A and B are shown apart, each in its own frame.
Chain A
Amino acid sequence: MAEAATRARLLSSVILVLLVCAHAVSAQKPRTNPDAATIVDFMKRVDQYVALHKKLESTLPKLPKEATPQQIDQHQRAFGKLIQENRAAAKPGDLFTPAMRRLVRRLMRQVFRGEGGVQLKKEILEEYTENVPLKVNGRYPDSVPLSTVPPQVLKGLPNLPEQLEYRFVGDRLILLDPAAHVIVDYMERVFP
């Protein structure tokens, strides 16, 4: 009887030790960012776009460093046309994949439901007065002022190379190619 009790105590001690060890081993495992794969995929798509941007830009005459507004406009339109021709099959979701959209919406929920979120949204929508349709690979609408993208928003989003930038158009988050003035991709309903 006593032997059985000792054996049971020993067994439970062994199980306890095993559990502690298992926990310690699992705690030592490097923590992985559950969003890492989504971000890596997004940045791969960004890089592909930037490669195309650079390739096409090199075929255009360089914009002088002291350009007139007309020269800037002409260059932008010529560049935009090239991008549009070379991405004729572009469609929503090419960069903002469903996984990336989910991630962005989650980040936006954190920002806009957090402290000062209401004020941030107000600032973003400050100059947005008309509801304009957007088109992937279309020219950014000339009548729509460039929105602010607050640091709190940028903090959560992957950093972009200078060929691309995030902007809001109403409640849509767009990826804008500022040199070509082209909407590379966009996603709707980003505000919670």
Chain B
Amino acid sequence: MRLPSPRLWTLICAFAALVCCAETTSARRDSTTLVRTVQEAASAAQPMQLPNKPDTVKFAVIGDNGTGGREQYEVAQQMAAWHKKFEFPLVVMMGDNIYGSERPQDFVQKFEAPYKPLLDAGVKFYASLGNHDSREQRYYKYYNMDGKLYYSFKAPKQSVRFFAFESTYMDQEQLAWIEKELDSSRDDWKICFFHHPLYSSARTHGSEMKLRAALEPLLIKYNVSLVLNGHDHVYERIKPQSGIQYFVEGSSGQLRDGDLRKGSPLTAKGFDTDQTFMLMEVDGDQLTFVAISRRGQIVDSGTIARRRTN
């Protein structure tokens, strides 16, 4: 039997290589799709643990997210999967929205691309600035900061107002603004969000005592019910302090594995072994929350009641 000529062998090898390459690419695509499908299935299989009623205020919470890394994208995929069944119209951001350089392409890679399904669905993001963020982010259209370093906005439904602070440079001017805004708000729910936590059990940063001394008296005096922070790359629900519920949600892109101090007297619930985001729903005097991991597992949930004026 005659063997094929060398030229024919070359052609056969090239064809085989092409087939092999195509199969690998297809397998990679399949594996990406598989990951997404598994995540969606995980999210779908979970009992929601949220009332998910019409006419309630639904929102998501993310913090320290802007890494542009795989984990950020996977958290974003979870958010999109949950959005299909729990249609939150807004997301509040705890800062460190863009890590590293902030060139136009970074805004795409570290924000617009991962959250594209949510942005396409009309979800509005409201940012606060972290210690790694440039102040120019306040002009970025998708952060809805209206060109301001600190601002407030009313939720589309119910009696809820959000207040975003700039906690890296907390000066007297901002403190005066905070006092005026909180005082003039007649909303039942006053929800404040900013980067640095007044209470945190994480080893890396922990509670910002100086900021606490400046802000906490105002939060108490003006009947704030809920405070959301980031900075420490963990999830932590703090035991209520002076009637105020605090959360640290700083692991929506970053993560400091094992950073929470075990047995901290502040911790009501902590999770520091995977990235997370939160979903919240305000219905009258009740707020229900869930914290969800990158893998789609609910790692914490509960209900809190709003504070009432004395």
In the complex, A171 has a CB within 8 A of chain B: no
Interface residue tally on A, bucketed by range: 20 to 34
* Residues of chain B contacted by A143 (CB below 8 angstroms): 101
A83 to chain B, nearest CB (A): 14
Which residues in chain A, 61-85, are within 8 Å of chain B measured between CB atoms? Answer: 63-73, 76
Q: Are B135 and A145 in contact (CB under 8 A)?
A: no
What CA separation (Å) do A144 and B132 show in the bound complex?
Answer: 11
Segment from A20-28, A39-47, A149-157 that makes contact with B: A149-157
* Residues of chain A contacted by B105 (CB below 8 angstroms): 69
In the complex, A188 has a CB within 8 A of chain B: no
In the complex, B204 has a CB within 8 A of chain A: yes
What CA separation (Å) do A177 and B168 show in the bound complex?
Answer: 16
* Residues of chain B contacted by A165 (CB below 8 angstroms): 135, 169
Q: Are B139 and A72 in contact (CB under 8 A)?
A: yes
A92 to chain B, nearest CB (A): 23
- CB within 8 Å for A162 and B135 given contacts A67-B140, A151-B208, A151-B211: yes
Segment from B141-149, B185-193, B218-226 that makes contact with A: B141-149
* Residues of chain B contacted by A142 (CB below 8 angstroms): 101, 103
* Residues of chain A contacted by B169 (CB below 8 angstroms): 154, 159-160, 162, 165
What CA separation (Å) do A37 and B104 show in the bound complex?
Answer: 42
Residue of A nearest to B136 (CB): A72
- CB within 8 Å for A127 and B146 given contacts A69-B107, A69-B140, A165-B135: no
Q: Main SS of chain B's interface residues? A: loop
B194 to chain A, nearest CB (A): 13
In the complex, A90 has a CB within 8 A of chain B: no
- CB within 8 Å for A149 and B131 given contacts A69-B104, A143-B101: yes
A116 to chain B, nearest CB (A): 9
In the complex, B134 has a CB within 8 A of chain A: yes
Which residues in chain A, 124-155, are within 8 Å of chain B measured between CB atoms? Answer: 127, 142-149, 151, 154-155
For A66, A76, A127, which residue has the most chain B Cβ atoms within 10 angstroms? A66
In the complex, A93 has a CB within 8 A of chain B: no
Q: Are B134 and A146 in contact (CB under 8 A)?
A: yes
Q: Are B140 and A148 in contact (CB under 8 A)?
A: no
In the complex, B100 has a CB within 8 A of chain A: yes
Q: Are B101 and A72 in contact (CB under 8 A)?
A: no
In the complex, A100 has a CB within 8 A of chain B: no
In the complex, A103 has a CB within 8 A of chain B: no
Q: Are B101 and A73 in contact (CB under 8 A)?
A: no
In the complex, A117 has a CB within 8 A of chain B: no
In the complex, A179 has a CB within 8 A of chain B: yes
Residue of A nearest to B137 (CB): A72
Residue of B nearest to A67 (CB): B139
Which residues in chain B, 67-83, are within 8 Å of chain A measured between CB atoms? Answer: none
* Residues of chain B contacted by A154 (CB below 8 angstroms): 168-169
B-binding residues in A (CB < 8 A)? 63-73, 76, 119, 123, 127, 142-149, 151, 154-155, 159-160, 162, 165, 178-179
**Minimum-distance CB pairs A-B, first 9:** A66-B141, A69-B104, A69-B107, A65-B147, A148-B131, A67-B139, A145-B100, A178-B135, A70-B104
List 4 additional A-B contacts (Cβ < 8 Å) besides A119-B204, A143-B101, A145-B132: A68-B140, A148-B132, A159-B169, A178-B136
A-B contact pairs, 25 of them (CB 8 A): A65-B145, A67-B139, A68-B140, A69-B105, A69-B106, A69-B107, A69-B140, A70-B104, A72-B136, A73-B103, A73-B104, A119-B204, A127-B99, A145-B101, A145-B132, A146-B133, A147-B132, A148-B131, A151-B208, A155-B210, A160-B169, A162-B169, A165-B135, A178-B134, A179-B136
